[in-house]
Amino acid sequence: MPQYRVSEAAELLGVSDDTVRRWVDAQQLPAESDGSGRLVVEGSALAEFARARARAARDPSGIERSARNRFVGLVTEVTSDTVMSQVELQCGSQRVVSLLSTEAVTDLGLRPGVLAVAVVKSTAVVIETPGGGR
């Protein structure tokens, strides 16, 4: 099972090293010392902790749909020509980019600062793992 040093766990959780150490000290996040005496978090424990702490923004649409991949965020940029537009949303720490018709962008009133929901339904999702034997 992979283990993550405090700095790696902090980066994955989007917080500071000190925050991770506080969670460990408060026994909210289990950690142990590795063979070199460094504080590490077991990968499965980190995954469980990340999932439990994840808080998605409330979906303002009020619509139920089969697509489970819904990302609520703010429009940060819209680049349009006469036919197509590229819309960027900042959804928490993730940037989501979509190409859609300029007509749809106009109809939806998409512009920087507008709250929007990116809905992804795909039969193909690529999952990668980093190299280096993790």
pLDDT at position 80 is: 96
Domain ranges for the chain: 3-55, 69-120
- Output the CATH code of domain 69-120: 2.40.50.100
36 in Cβ contact with 22 (< 8 Å): no
103 in Cβ contact with 87 (< 8 Å): no
Segment 20-26 shows an average pLDDT of: 96
pLDDT at position 16 is: 92
| Alpha-carbon span 24 to 27, nearest angstrom | 5
Q: Record the tokens describing residue 55, joined without a space.
A: 């808080």
If pLDDT is split at 50, 70 and 90, which confidence band does 132 have?
low
71 in Cβ contact with 98 (< 8 Å): no
pLDDT digits (tens, 9 = 90+) for 79-122: 999 999 999 998 877 889 999 999 999 999 999 988 898 988 87
pLDDT digits (tens, 9 = 90+) for 27-70: 999 999 998 999 999 988 998 888 888 776 677 777 777 777 88
pLDDT at position 53 is: 81
pLDDT at position 97 is: 94
Q: Record the tokens describing residue 114, joined without a space.
A: 């507008």
pLDDT at position 56 is: 66
Segment 15-24 shows an average pLDDT of: 94
3-55 under CATH 1.10.1660.10, yes or no: yes
The total number of residues shown for the chain amounts to: 134
Count CB-CB contacts under 10 A for residue 122: 8
Considering only the C-alpha atoms of the chain, give the largest distance between any 2 of them, rounded to a whole number of Å.
Answer: 61
pLDDT at position 133 is: 54
Name beta bridge partners: 20. Answer: none
- CA nearest neighbour of 112 among 86, 94, 93: 86
